[in-house]
């Protein structure tokens, strides 16, 4: 991939049931060369399946997950409950960002008390928000 040296992240995962938001997210990330690869999943369950399936393949594991809250079947918080029990190989090199339209203060507080959640962001994803992401060590900016 020709963008290899300029991307901040190797792999980013977007978990969102809304197709447009996934599209916008992926477009912004690609447009601003934020990550080399984006894994788009429309359900939290699919995300868990993906993570477990690739737990021994670090190259295919995301370093950053944008997680929506309001989703059918399994919502963002339920996902975080499951995520807790995943092997460390998955979690060690990964941070979770809540990305939602929720204005609920309780949602924000709940998200921020979770040890795996780095921050709580409101949609839509844009370059300013991407710039506020932490710079991962080992990433050649």
Partner 1 sequence: MYNKLLQRQIDKYLKAAVDIPADLEAFFKAVSESYDHYEKDRKMLERSIELSSQEMIELNKQLRKEAEENSRIVYEKLKESLVLLNDENDEILPADADPYKLFHIADLLKNETERRRRAEREQAQRQRHLQSSQRIAHVGSWELKFTADGEVPVYVSDETYKIFGIERGDEILTSEIFYRSMHPDDREMVANALAEAVKTKKPYTTRHRVVLPDGTEKIVNEMAEIVYDPKTGVPLRAIGTTQDITETISTNRELQQANNEIRTLFENMQEVFYSVDMQTNQLIQISNACEEIYGYTREEFFNNSNLWFDVIFEEDRQIVYNNYPAMQAGQPFTQSYRIHHKNGGMRWLESRMRPILNENGELVRLYGVTQDVTRREEYELALKTSNDELKKTNRELDKFVYSVSHDLRAPLSSMLGLVEISEPLIEHPVLQKNMAMVKKSIIKLDGFIHDILDYSRNSRLEVNKQQVNFGETLEDISNNLRFMSANEKVRIHTEIKSDVPFFSDKNRISIILNNLVSNAIRYHNPNIPDPFVKVNIDVSEQSAQIEVIDNGIGISEENCARVFEMFYRVSKKSVGSGLGLYIVKESVDKLGGTIAVTSALNKGTKFTISLPNLNS
Enumerate binding residues for partner 1 (CB under 8 A): 18, 20-21, 24-25, 27-28, 31, 70, 101-105, 122-126, 128
Tokens coding 16: 């969102």
Least distance from C-beta 34 to partner 1, angstroms? 13
Least distance from C-beta 118 to partner 1, angstroms? 14
When the beta carbons of 103 and 135 are compared against partner 1, the nearer one is 103
When the beta carbons of 21 and 36 are compared against partner 1, the nearer one is 21
Other Cβ atoms less than 10 A from the Cβ of 91: the count is: 17
Is 83:115 a contact under the CB 8 Å cutoff?
A: no
When the beta carbons of 50 and 118 are compared against partner 1, the nearer one is 118
Longest Cα separation, the chain: 43
When the beta carbons of 48 and 79 are compared against partner 1, the nearer one is 79
Least distance from C-beta 108 to partner 1, angstroms? 9
Least distance from C-beta 98 to partner 1, angstroms? 14
């Amino acid at each position: 991939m020709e963008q290899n040296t300029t991307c901040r992240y190797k792999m980013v995962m977007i978990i969102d049931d809304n197709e447009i938001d996934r599209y916008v997210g992926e477009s912004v990330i690609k447009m601003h060369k934020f990550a080399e690869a984006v894994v788009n999943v429309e359900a939290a369950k699919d995300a868990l399946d993906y993570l477990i399936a690739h737990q021994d393949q670090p190259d295919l594991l995301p370093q950053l997950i944008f997680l929506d809250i309001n989703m059918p079947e399994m919502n963002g918080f339920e996902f975080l409950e499951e995520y807790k029990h995943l092997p460390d190989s998955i979690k060690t090199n990964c941070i979770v960002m809540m990305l939602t339209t929720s204005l609920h203060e309780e949602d924000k507080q709940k998200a921020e008390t979770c040890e795996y959640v780095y921050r709580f962001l409101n949609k839509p994803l844009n370059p300013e928000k991407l710039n506020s992401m932490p710079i991962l060590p080992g990433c050649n900016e």
